[in-house]
Amino acid sequence: MNEIFLSNGNEVEVFERCYRNKLPLMIKGPTGCGKSQLVLSMAKKLGVNVFSVACNEDTNAADLLGRYIIKGGETLWKDGPVTQAVKEGAILYLDEIAEAREDVVVAIHPLTDHRREVYLDKLSQVISAHSNFMFVASYNPGYQRGVRQIKSSTKQRFVTIHMTYLEPSMESNLICELTHLSQGVAKSIVTIATRIRQMAEYQLSATVSTRLLVRAAQLIVDGMDKRSACHIAIAEPLSEDRQVVEALKDLINIAI
């Protein structure tokens, strides 16, 4: 796993300030723009562990806080990732918080304000967070699978940064650094991405992420034909509509 993080803005500075001041941080931004990468690189820089939890509609408070398990005929308590992070003084990274259920939201609220504690109702215990504990959450504002919305009482508990895709020259530098693709081809891939990102007419549910560009570059470095690599790594994942996919492939063929 690489820990490279490149930034358009002040994400690193804000992250460090939140860590120092024990403020919870919300990262919003489209898929594959580097939200998880920011958290990993900062954890490395600050020398703390990360406990990552991806929320979905089935994730309940016990999955996060902990539960009794039966092992060898004995009933034992097992801390969940939130409790582990709170005790150890790690970064808790709650991904896709928009998908979190109400009981999960209720369980995490006391960690996001001055209390910085977690209540384990099954043990009737209150655990205060270690001084190095940091709460980071993320969501993609353009993508809401369910009907759930993050409540403003939750949103207003976080310092919030909005991430976007890197500007073109940085995005091609990142591709080169990660894959050792040549500058020229990396630039062409980023040109494809820029054009697709500008095209509202395709009505894509999500636009092309840096993640897809890195994948295309990996395939090219592996020896695959450039156009085919971009077709399968960029055009196909973006749409189910064959006409749209063909239009994206045409755009790719012109640019690379």
Ligand X SMILES: Nc1ncnc2c1ncn2[C@@H]1O[C@H](COP(=O)(O)OP(=O)(O)OP(=O)(O)O)[C@@H](O)[C@H]1O
Interface residues toward ligand X, by CB under 6 A: 4-6, 29, 31-37, 140, 166, 174, 178, 210-211, 214
Q: How far is the CB of 175 from ligand X (least distance, A)?
A: 9
3-state secondary structure 84-141: HHHHHCCEEEEECHHHCCHHHHHHHHHHHCCCCEEEECCCCEEEECCCCCEEEEEECC
Q: Taking the C-alpha atoms of 245, 251, 252 and 255 in order, what is their torsion angle to the nearest 10 degrees?
A: -170
**Least distance to ligand X, CB of residue 119, Å:** 29
> Out of Mg ion, ligand X, none, which partner does residue 166 contact, by CB within 5 to 8 A per kind?
ligand X
Instruction: Residue 118: name the closest of 47, 181, 41, 66 by CA.
Output: 66
Q: Which residue, 5 or 15, has its beta carbon nearer to ligand X?
A: 5
CB of 125 to ligand X, least distance (A): 32
Residue 246 Cβ, how far from ligand X at the closest point, in Å?
26
In whole angstroms, what is the distance from residue 199 CA to residue 202 CA? 6
Residue indicated by tokens 């900062």: 42
Q: Of ligand X, Mg ion, none, which one sits near residue 90, judging by CB under 5 to 8 A according to partner kind?
A: none
154 binding Mg ion? (CB under 5 A): no
Query: Which residues from 36-95 bind Mg ion, rule CB under 5 A?
Result: 36
- DSSP states of 142-156: T---SS----HHHHT
- Judged by CB, which is closer to ligand X: 51, or 127? 51
Query: Which range in 33-41, 124-132, 171-179, 199-207 contacts Mg ion by CB under 5 A?
Result: 33-41
Nearer to Mg ion, 133 or 139 (CB): 139
Q: How far is the CB of 161 from Mg ion (least distance, A)?
A: 14
Select from 58, 55, 77 the least CA-distant residue to 67: 77
* Residue in 31, 32, 49 with CA at minimum distance from that of residue 40: 49
Interface contacts to Mg ion, rule CB under 5 A: 35-36
